[in-house]
Amino acid sequence: MRKKTAFCLFKYFPYGGLQRDFIQIATTCKNRGYDIRIYVLSWEGKIPLGFDVRFVPVKALQNHTRVQKYFRWVANDLDRDPVDCVIGFNRMPRLDVYFASDNCFCEKAERQRGWLYRFSGRYRVYSSFEKAVFSAKSDTVVLLIAESQRKSYYSYYGTSEDRLKVLPPGVSKELKKPENATDIRKAVRCEWGVSDSEFVLLQVGSGFITKGVDRSIYALAALPDELRKRTRYFVVGKDCPGRFLRLAHKLGVCDRICFFGGRDDIACLLQGADLMVHPSINEAGGIVLLEGIIAGLPVVCTAACGYAVHIERSGCGCVIPEPYQQENLNRCLREMLTSDKLFEMGQCGLQYAEETDLYSQHEVAADIIEQVIEYKS
């Protein structure tokens, strides 16, 4: 008999890192013969064949209230139509497996918010949902995307070690530097109107505040005049750029910046750029860092990214330490753009990508889901 699985995700859109992992893991499970049911509040883009997508018809003015209603609706539907395994990509009770794409919510709340925040409805809902997954009384198996997550969850919840499974990364091999990379680079830069003497900084990721786009703009503005005039900054991702364009205008660098929105041609964009910047405020993983590595693109990122460890190990770029200071990013960007070792850094990344497993996350996740189903049956 075919095994039935339910995948829970609040919202699907094509350009989010979590959403890409979700669709890849669900597809891998489908290819292994599992029935795939998906619960979502909304879905942007085409729905893959073979997926039973169930839209959760709940509304609320506040996100945390809508999340509560989502869980109750899903729980009732699962009671009526049970499955063999429930896999969540957002925290909620009753999960058999949780894909931990985010860092610990309670830790972030304690460090970044005042004490009054803990009396808010938002905190009560999200902290209770996190506790349902990670508490010592829970039996949810947690798929961590980076080793750095383990300490936080154990510290806050005492989560047993055997429930915390660290996955390898899951970057797509389609983004590897191709043999015709030089031709692609020329074509892309011609399309952008970029000369051979100019540098292109590329930042990829939806959610511009969290990704530190403002930090990148400040660093661009801090470059020496001659270097700044030869540097372009391109941002790819889904978000509203208004506040960042206003900042760029205030700093006098509006003409050096372009926001592209979400795009499907990331492989080409990586080859057209000279340096990836990703000064994220808080990120459990940061798959774009690995996309830069396998494309041969040097990377500047913050230590707040779980995958920053791969930048350090490979020697393909610069990691800005925490606690974050803007001057550190300014200096690093200036030094890298004036270095004669950019190409060498890119080559270090390519070598690292050949020697390290950066690709098997989705297969390993499907293996663990299969083990959970076998244990429950």
Ranges assigned E (strand) in the chain: 4-8, 11-12, 35-40, 42-43, 51-55, 85-88, 97-100, 141-144, 164-166, 199-204, 231-236, 257-261, 275-278, 299-302, 317-320
Question: What sections of 240-360 are H helices per DSSP?
Answer: 242-251, 266-272, 287-294, 308-314, 326-337, 342-355
Q: Is residue 358 within 8 Å of 310, Cβ to Cβ?
A: yes
Locate 56 and state its tokens: 């959760």
- Please report the domains of the chain, with CATH numbers, ordered by start residue: 4-168+360-376 (3.40.50.2000), 173-355 (3.40.50.2000)
pTM exceeding 0.85: yes
Contacts of 192 (CB under 8 A, 6+ apart): 200, 232, 234, 258, 272
pLDDT score of 1: 76
Q: What is the pLDDT of residues 191-217, one digit of tens each?
A: 999 999 999 999 999 999 999 999 999
pLDDT score of 41: 98
Rounded distance, CA 368 to CA 107, Å? 27
Q: What is the largest CA-CA distance in the chain?
A: 68
Question: Mean pLDDT across the chain, nearest whole number?
Answer: 96
Q: Is residue 273 within 8 Å of 250, Cβ to Cβ?
A: no
pLDDT score of 377: 84
Residues of the chain with pLDDT below 70 are none
pLDDT score of 284: 95
pLDDT score of 15: 85
